[in-house]
Copies of this chain bind each other. A is one copy, B any other.
């Protein structure tokens, strides 16, 4: 057969690869399995990706892009900080539930030793800056407590979101969540986490300032 891979086929490969990596991790994931599920030959994968690791990285980039998009969309047009927080939290959960493999990939990548800096840079920069700026602005308007360091506050908040991702996307953390509260509803968790964050940031309604 001599037809070039369509964009859609490339997307398919990436999605199947994310699933395979999510299921089995970088090591145990099998290129041949990804090829089979994608309906292409092994060779074609090596045409587009130098080796397994590079495919893994592309999956990562792909995953992060999707995740970022979802998260950004979540807060767009949201007026209040707390409203944005809740939207982010809900987006986290929804995304993790629907795209567990992406979360598992995300978790896997954070275990990388080599190239950690590079990866972190690519993946976390935007979020870090966005959240920090968000808090800075809120602080300037008196919406959050004055003694909060915006950068660290942003990191702590993002830490909570990351763990939320894992809790809804990785088997281990799901089990762990059950140990804390076997029957918690998603709504109750969101409510509690919003309260938690609200207190942590010392959020006051704007009108209250």
Is A5 on the interface with B (CB-CB < 8 A)? no
Known A111-B104, A181-B149; judge A116-B171 contact (CB<8 A).
Answer: yes
* Cα separation A174 to B110 with both chains bound (whole Å): 10
Whether A112 is near chain B, meaning CB under 8 Å from some CB there, is yes
Kindly state the separation between the CA atoms of A123 and B8 in the bound complex, as whole angstroms.
42
Quick check: is A66 within 8 A (CB to CB) of the other chain? no
Task: Indicate if the CB atoms of B148 and A192 lie closer than 8 Å.
Answer: yes
- In the assembled complex, 17 residue pairs joining A and B whose CB atoms fall closer than 8 Å, in A order, are A23-B113, A107-B110, A108-B111, A109-B172, A110-B166, A110-B170, A110-B173, A112-B171, A112-B172, A119-B175, A121-B175, A124-B175, A128-B176, A148-B196, A152-B189, A155-B176, A155-B180
Are A153 and B196 interface neighbours, CB within 8 A?
yes
Question: Would you give the shortest CB distance from A40 to chain B, in whole angstroms?
Answer: 14
Identical chains in the assembly: 4
Size of the chain A interface, CB-CB below 8 angstroms:
63
List A residues at the B interface (Cβ < 8 Å).
23-28, 104, 107-113, 116-117, 119-121, 124-125, 128, 132, 145, 147-149, 151-156, 158-160, 162-164, 166, 170-177, 179-181, 184, 188-189, 192-193, 195-197, 199-202
Would you give the shortest CB distance from A181 to chain B, in whole angstroms?
4
Select which of B27, B104, B180, B195 is within 8 A of A154 by beta carbon.
B180
Provide the residues of chain B in CB contact with A200, threshold 8 Å: 196-197, 199-200
Q: With A28-B27, A184-B152, A192-B152 known to touch, is A125 a contact of B179 (CB < 8 Å)?
A: yes
The complex places the Cα of A174 from the Cα of B189 at a distance, in Å, of 28
Q: Give the residues in chain B near A111, CB-CB below 8 Å.
A: 25, 104, 107-108, 111, 170, 172
A144 to chain B, nearest CB (A): 10
B175 and A155 contact, CB distance less than 8 A: no
Which residue of B24, B152, B175, B197 is within 8 Å of A117 (Cβ)?
B175
